[in-house]
Chain A
Amino acid sequence: MILGLLASTLSLSIPLVLAALGGVMSVRSGVMALGLESMMLFGAFSAVVGSWFSGNAFVGLLCGILGGLVIGLAHALLSVRYKMNQVISGIGLNLLATAATTLFMQIIWNNKGSSATVASVDVTLSFLQNIPVLGEIFARQSILLPVTIAIAIVEWFVLFRTPFGLRLRFVGENPKAASSIGIPVHKMKYIGVAICGMLAGLGGAYLSIVSLDMFVRDMSASRGYIAVAIGILSRYNPVKAMLAGSLFGFCEAVQIYLQGYGVPSQLIQMIPYIVTLLVLVFGVRNIKPPAGVGAHEDD
Chain B
Amino acid sequence: MNRNRLKSLVIPLFSFFLAIVVCGIIMALCGYNPFTAYSIIFSGAFGSVRNITNTLIQASPLIMTGLGYMVSKRAMLINLGIEGQLYTGAIVAALIGMTDLHLPLILHLAVTMLGGAAAGGLVGLFIGFLKVHFGANEVITTTMTNFIIINFTSYLVNYPLKADGAVAQTERMLETALMPKILPSYQLTYSIVIIALVAVAVKFFIDRTKTGFEIQCVGLNQKASAVAGIKVGGVMLSAMFISGAIGGLAGALQVMSVNRRFIAGFSADYGFSGIAVAALGNDNAIGIILSGIVFGALKNGANILNMTSRTPTEFVAVVQALVVIFVSAPLLINEILHLGAFRRKKKEGLA
Contacts and interface: CB of A to CB of B under 8 A. Distances in A.
Interface of A: 34, 78, 81-85, 87-93, 95-96, 98-100, 102-103, 106-107, 112, 221-222, 225, 228-229, 264, 266-267, 269-270, 273-274, 276-277, 280-282, 284-285
B139 interface: yes
Nearest to A106: B312
Interface of B: 26, 30, 78, 80, 130, 134-137, 139-141, 143-145, 147-148, 151-152, 154-155, 158-159, 272, 275-276, 312, 314-315, 317-318, 320-322, 324-325, 328-329, 331-332, 335
Contacts of B329: 78, 82, 84, 89
6 contacts: A78-B325, A81-B331, A82-B329, A95-B272, A273-B145, A280-B130
Contacts of A225: 139-140, 143-144
A269 B80 contact: no
A264 B322 contact: no
Contacts of A266: 151-152, 154-155, 158
Given A95-B276, A99-B317, A267 B140 contact: no
Contacts of B134: 280-282, 285
A107 B30 contact: yes
Given A78-B325, A95-B272, A274-B148, A106 B314 contact: yes
A270 B320 contact: no
A270 B332 contact: no
Contacts of A78: 325, 329, 332
A273 B144 contact: yes
Nearest to A268: B151
A264 B26 contact: no
B27 to A, nearest CB: 10
A295 to B, nearest CB: 15
A222 B320 contact: no
A264 B152 CA distance: 10
B275 A83 contact: no
Contact of B147 (A84, A85, A222): A222
A92 B151 contact: no
A58 to B, nearest CB: 28
A91 B158 CA distance: 31
A107 B331 CA distance: 33
Contact of B152 (A85, A229, A267): A267
B158 A92 contact: no
Contact of B155 (A83, A107, A267): A267
Given A95-B275, A102-B314, A270-B152, A82 B332 contact: yes
A189 to B, nearest CB: 16
A218 B204 CA distance: 38
A112 B151 CA distance: 21
B324 A273 contact: no
Nearest to B168: A266
Given A78-B325, A266-B151, A282-B134, A222 B143 contact: yes
A103 B140 contact: no
Nearest to A98: B317
**By CB atoms of chain A within 10 A, which of B80, B134, B140, B148 has the most?**
B140
Contacts of B318: 96, 99-100, 103
Contacts of A269: 147, 151
A229 to B, nearest CB: 6
B143 to A, nearest CB: 5
